[in-house]
Amino acid sequence: MAEKLLAIKPSTSPLAAVKGMNDILPAGVPRKDKLPDSALWRWFERTVDAVMTAHGYQSLLTPVVEPTALFVRGIGEATDIVEKEMYSWTDAMNGDALTLRPEITAGIVRAMIEHNALYNGPLRVWSIGPVFRHERPQKGRYRQFHQLDVEALGCAGPDVDAELILMLRRLWQALGLQIGQHVRLELNSLGQPAERAAHRAALVAYFERHAEQLDDDSKRRLHSNPLRILDSKNPALQGLIEAAPKLAEHLGAESRAHLDAVCAVLDAAGLDYRINPRLVRGLDYYNLTVFEWVTDHLGSQGTVCGGGRYDGLFEQLGGKPAPAIGFGLGIERLLLLIQELGLPVPSAAPDAYAVIGEGAPLPRVLATLDALRAAGVSVLMQAAGKDGWGGMKSQFKRADASGARHALVFGADELARGEVAIKPLRRADAAQTTRALADVAQWAGELLHA
């Protein structure tokens, strides 16, 4: 290992990020790829936090690296993810087979089993973090991307499925997305294993009759996992897939009742949806309810969020059986959508920007800024270079570019009188005022609103 690292020659040429893996940068840093800035991310995270709290979901974090077996057993061997998208390697120290997580659900279920977390009953959890898939990078598709992952664990009823979907409507509304116009809901039922087996037999017979039309991927999956053929993105196969036997024809009364119960809640809540019989999802562990929120504004990367019920996964991973439902939301895609639509997002600008004159006594300036911050005012201070702060003119330029609503002018004259000048930057009608430094607690509030 150490020899391999030493083989990397010393060099001073700059290094770039790994292809398909992106930096999330502060607002105002110019970048060619137009990916959302960190201010947009933080706003998304704050919004998620509020919506999750309102629904009784608690946050949790699990490792980014997991045993490879977790995903092979959890996601399924014949899925795109396990077949060709995982970053897997053998640990050089002890030979363990490890993988960078390609999704978050399997790790959460592993953690729940390991800590016997459902001992006291159901648990609702959410997590945000990076996931890794070796795909061809393009807009809305990356090799490292981030998911919001939400799981209702130990919950069997269709009421929880509906609640989860309605919670997403709440999230869209909090982010300013319009249902119907910007995002819409597609829904399906995958039934229970026995129903899927009957459907699977019908599918195999159907695709065998049309084997000459299948591509290589589909031929391989015909016997390992024929349901996956329905998920194929190959345009040449779409006609064949369209006419294939539908799972709906094999659903039993209980499965149909579960779907009907979900729909009844959505209908009562006035949420529009479309039953899409071809919606199967790319992971093996789903049963009963599956759903996706899709958009027409992101080209072919149109799914912003997908989820479903996975009542068999706990058992499959060696735990006590426990019903569960959850979803994964692609944060980059969602933020790209918000950006693309030009939706209003809250400003990340500070309330005020301190412009500091040559020779101004720093202790008084910093004590004033500290008092302002204690009163809840956000203040950005001009950072001095080796020649001081630069001229007032250049400082005002920066104050303007920062988006702050006020400039706090700490000129040597003002400070000598124990004052600071407050210059409104965004309102032509408002005049400059002066305030006493000693009374800062009394006037700090003015900077928050005006």
Find how far residue 406's CA is from the centre of its chain: 34
The nearest distance, CB 294 to ligand ATP, in angstroms, is: 9
Rounded-to-integer distance, Cα 126 and Cα 132, Å: 18
> Which of 36, 154, 191, 306 touches ligand ATP (CB under 6 A)?
306
Residue 305 contacts ligand ATP per CB under 6 A: yes
Token pair 């790829």 is found at 33
Q: Does 145 bind ligand ATP (CB under 6 A)?
A: yes
Candidate residues 40, 66, 86, 103; the one interacting with ligand ATP per rule CB under 6 A:
103
Window of 3-11, 174-182, 237-245, 325-333 that interacts with ligand ATP by CB under 6 A: 325-333
Sheet holding 287-294, edge to edge: 58-59, 123-132, 144-153, 324-330, 303-309, 287-294, 184-189, 274-275
CA proximity to 327, closest of 133, 137, 104: 104
Q: Which stretch binds ligand ATP (CB under 6 A): 60-68, 122-130, 150-158, 304-312?
A: 304-312
Closest approach, Cβ 84 to ligand ATP, in A, equals: 12
Q: Pick the binder of ligand ATP from 76, 107, 226, 328 (CB under 6 A).
A: 328
Show the tokens assigned to 80. 């795109």
Report if residue 333 touches ligand ATP, rule: CB under 6 A: yes
Classified as helix, coil or strand, 93 is: coil
**Which range touches ligand ATP (CB under 6 A), out of 58-66, 112-120, 133-141, 395-403?**
133-141
Total residues contacting ligand ATP by CB under 6 A comes to: 18
Closer residue to ligand ATP in complex, CB, 70/421:
70
Question: Which residues are CB-neighbours of 62 under 8 A, at least 6 positions away?
Answer: 101, 104, 107, 108, 110, 111, 127
Query: Would you count residue 330 as binding ligand ATP (CB under 6 A)?
Result: yes
Pick from 343, 345, 347: nearest CA to 405: 347
Separation CA 323–CA 153 (nearest Å):
7
> In whole angstroms, how close is the CB of 52 to ligand ATP at the nearest point?
17
Taking the CA atoms of 73, 74, 79 and 81 in sequence, report the sign of the dihedral they define. Answer: negative
Stretch that binds ligand ATP, among 116-124, 141-149, 315-323, 437-445 (CB under 6 A): 141-149
In this chain, which of 110, 133, 221, 309 binds ligand ATP, going by CB under 6 A? 133
Does residue 142 belong to the site contacting ligand ATP (CB under 6 A)?
Answer: yes
Give the integer Cα–Cα distance in Å for 73 and 395. 59
CB nearer to ligand ATP: pick between 331 and 415 = 331
Among all chains, which residue has been given the structure tokens 């720093």? 362
Nearest to 425 by CA among 443, 450, 442: 450
> For the packed helices 68-75 and 105-114, what is the interaxial angle rounded to 10 degrees?
110
Which residues make beta-bridge pairs with 124? 152
Stretch binding ligand ATP (CB under 6 A), from 23-31, 41-49, 54-62, 139-147:
139-147
The answer to whether residue 74 forms part of the interface with ligand ATP (CB under 6 A) is no
Tell me how far, at minimum, the Cβ of 80 lies from ligand ATP, in Å: 7
* Using rule CB under 6 A, residue 332 touches ligand ATP: yes
Q: x/- binding map, residues 273-292, to ligand ATP, per CB under 6 A?
A: ---------x----------
| Residue 147 found at the interface with ligand ATP (CB under 6 A) | yes
SS3 content of the chain, % helix, strand, coil (to 5): 40, 20, 40
For ligand ATP, which is the closer residue by CB, 35 or 248?
35
Only one of the segments 29-37, 254-262, 324-332, 376-384 lies at the binding site for ligand ATP (rule: CB under 6 A); that segment is 324-332
Does the protein bind ligand ATP through residue 304 (CB under 6 A)?
Answer: yes
**Inter-residue contact 161 to 309 (CB < 8 Å):** yes
Helix (H, G, I), strand (E, B) or coil at 219: helix
Strands (E), 91-182: 97-100, 123-132, 144-153
Name the minimum Å distance from CB 217 to ligand ATP.
14
Q: How far is the CB of 147 from ligand ATP (least distance, A)?
A: 6
Tell me the C-alpha distance between 344 and 374, whole Å: 29
Residue whose tokens read 């999956």: 221
Listed in sequence order, the residues at least 6 apart from 409 whose beta carbon sits closer than 8 Å to its beta carbon are 355, 357, 392, 420, 421, 422, 423
In angstroms, how far is CA 233 from the centroid of its own chain?
A: 23
Q: How far is the CB of 339 from ligand ATP (least distance, A)?
A: 15
Q: How far apart are CA 178 and CA 166, in angstroms?
A: 14
Distance of closest approach, residue 327 Cβ to ligand ATP, in angstroms: 8
303 binds ligand ATP (CB under 6 A): yes
Q: Please state the closest distance from residue 372 (CB atom) to ligand ATP, in A.
A: 41
Q: Which residues bind ligand ATP (CB under 6 A)?
A: 103, 133, 135, 140-142, 145, 147, 282, 301, 303-306, 328, 330, 332-333
